[in-house]
Structure 1
């Protein structure tokens, strides 16, 4: 028996990687001469998210899929134009077994062309990146959303996610199935009841600055995350022993919290959440109310702690504060702020913010890592995982993606054959 499909809704573009060599300067001007050797095309934006979703749906999250259970169909609802770039996207999606439900795009299909030599990005050329004009949504697009078993919205701000008909369908379906919203600087707000919103650090900062700066937000200021005020409980550890309020951690590094500023009388252990207390992770990080703590902190006579956090810990606390504020402002079940090689900070409204660290250190091209993160979270939630399980799965998937080489890792056959200047590799 077939299962409800996984549906990706968002702005699609054509990503083109042009690989080559630079061995000399141009005689007409002091600029490098780029000799092209390979061209790799792939769907970008929501298209890349759909490819990742299809891959995740086929394998399933660890421990969640049952043998013999059929994989879900993946459907992409996106605006594509009737041009060469649009035809290329259609071809690539079909090869990846992603069903495209088109919304007519009145204008060129966007393209991002990256020139790379010796593993370095030299230049990016954008085409058709201006505002998009999107026609009325066909009935097939609305029905695809209404039939979804889970939805990923990849909002690059070109209009598809703000389309009134599509947004109404997303708002309706979010009440019934998991919806993950991957926002970008030019995009809009998630619909109410979104299960998980996944901004990166810079995006979260931008949303906080533009949307939460006025008194209408009703939130405590982010400075509270860095300078705890009187009456705010901050956990202190360093050796795993609890402070006088009963909260403890395995190493004493802290992230900001979202409660009323007082720690509950519960012990925190790594990878276990206490419903009425704080949350620990693999590093034992815990949270108070916006306070960050290190092992060199001291405890005052009234049981409250004061801490001297270094810049990295302060930044972590600020990211946690942003996750709290954005979750409240958007009315989402959870917001996770991704922090590159540090992992991600999650606020779910139940427990103090939690840092989910990366399983190992990965350095490399992070292009597409956000799409990999969001798609892995969606696939996990669609199989019944908790939000914490989904975020942990997503952190691991995004880290492995960057470690493997990022976007270029999607074409392993490139590294298995000699250069052929006439070839075009399709991924």
Structure 2
């Protein structure tokens, strides 16, 4: 699969440090800069994300970035940051935009923009047009710098949209998408502005997004409009479905201080999924999850670093990260475990009681293979993905850790909880993990359970009623 990103690039500079005092010249914080980091922004960031996806997939995905570049020092730095990505470029005719962010700890203090004023519509080369013509999927990452307004390029993009997926990430200062693209992905504020839709109240986000998407689909003549809604997820409006209900894909709950780059991550994942042949609904679900994962790992500030531990159940909550951050904040990590094949009142009581013992609750969940070895070939009744999703939907559960062994010792060694909770009457000899907990100062406890409630009895009752 040949993916072509078309769009405007810029240079992002992050200055990060700590602010522990105010300036004597003015009541503003003094940031002691400890690190300076440069990275490609705009379409360059999108391309870098897709490059990482292509490396992870190892499935013959190739990537090209079609853009325009200046000949200044910032452009040289940009080329260095885009090393490893095939660039097909023309002259920009304007200075390279540079956005410098100053951060104190986890908080943004200020941003300086250089060379970000209005730019002329650049010319395109024949090589740039040929690269777009030969794509299997195209992602237009418009950052309002004029490339997406080039008439020759727009003609090619409209022609290509008739045979391959084209995803268009619009910009308020950019042109309208060409007709026929697979999906246009404005965020909520962009959708309201472009459509002229008003939001009645703070709680009226979904209705306003649905109205805006329907209006924009008619105006832009795209096959679909996908309005990204931040922590709410994304809303899909398909071409010609004004009489049908819009489709909302909710986002996992995460804690993120800086949403920068989430839109680029969403669009890059959407384009990759559509290029792989998935339906739009499935592709948007994947894109919402990838954007949540991206923010959950720290967003752009963590881009290019070693990835966080493997996600073990959902798209955005990593059990190891939850345990680490709880400990770093001085909190108590609580864990419990089991198969949880059919959730029942006994499980609910155990989980609720366990959560009240500390500041986070991690459920160590037996994998499907582990359940089969423990319970027999007819179990589990529900697969591990469904079991993990149900558990993670409970308010008292902060994360789920799926393990494949018959006993949870390895999972516990990785998580190192302060408290390990079991429901029922056990002795220390019946729970060998008690000694493991004590090795790092942890404690195993039991909580009351409901003897009449069990997965086996529920399964038998279900069998009787067919």
**Fold shared, TM-score > 0.5 on shorter chain:** yes
Distance (Å, rounded) in 1 between the aligned partners of 2:65 and 2:304: 22
Structure 2, gaps ≥5 residues long: 309-466
Kindly provide the CA deviation profile for residues 31-84 of structure 1, in whole angstroms up to 9, marking residues without a partner as x.
322221101111101110111122223334xxxxxxx732x2111111111111
Question: TM-score when scaled to structure 2?
Answer: 0.62
Alpha-carbon distance, 1:413 to partner: 6.0
Structure 1 runs, 4 residues or longer, greater than 6 Å off: none
Q: Which residue of 1 aligns with 2:120?
A: 133
Find the counterpart in structure 2 of residue 202 from structure 1: 189
Q: Distance in 2 between matches of 1:114 and 1:361?
A: 23
Q: 1:39 to 1:334 in 2, by over 3 A?
A: same
Q: Quick one: which of 153, 157, 169 aligns to 1:182?
A: 169
Partner SS, residue 86 of structure 2? strand
Aligned to 1:404: 297
Shift in CA distance, 414/17, structure 1 to aligned 2, threshold 3 Å: farther
Aligned pair partner of 1:346 in 229, 232, 236: 236
CA 414–339 in structure 1, closer or farther in 2 if over 3 Å, else same: closer
Deviation string, structure 1 residues 292-343 (Cα, Å, up to 9, x no partner): xxxxxxxxxxxxxxxxxx953x321221121111112111111111111111
Q: By how many angstroms is 1:134 displaced?
A: 4.6
Structure 1 partner of 2:279: 386
Deviations 1:230-267 (Å, cap 9, x if unpaired)?
A: xxxxxxxxxxxxxxxxxxxxxxxxxxxxxxxxxxxxxx
In the other structure, the counterpart of 1:163 is 150
In structure 1, distance between residues paired with 2:29 and 2:56: 43
Preserved contact between residue 358 and residue 399 of structure 1 (Cα < 8 Å):
yes
The answer to whether residue 69 in structure 2 is matched with residue 80 in structure 1 is yes
1:146 aligns with 133
Aligned residue pairs, count:
305
Q: Within the alignment, does 1:69 sit opposite 2:59 as a pair? A: yes
Displacement, 1:414?
A: 12
Deviation (angstroms), 1:399: 1.1
**Whole-angstrom CA distance in 2 between matches of 1:324 and 1:205:** 11
Paired residues of 1:345 and 1:355 also in contact (CA < 8 A): yes
Q: Can you give the 5+ residue segments of structure 1 that lack an aligned partner in the other structure?
A: 61-67, 214-221, 227-309, 416-427
8 Å CA contact retained: 1:174, 1:193: yes
Instruction: Judge conservation of contact 1:155–1:187 (CA < 8 Å) in 2.
Output: yes
Change (3 A) 1:411 1:148: closer
Which structure has more relative contact order (CA 8 Å, sep 6+)? It is 1
Q: What is the TM-score with the length of structure 1 in the denominator?
A: 0.68
Q: Is the 8 A contact 1:79 1:134 kept in 2?
A: no
1:40 equivalent to 2:30? Answer no
CA contact (8 A) 2:67 2:87 kept: yes
CA distance in structure 1 between the partners assigned to 2:15 and 2:306 by the alignment: 16
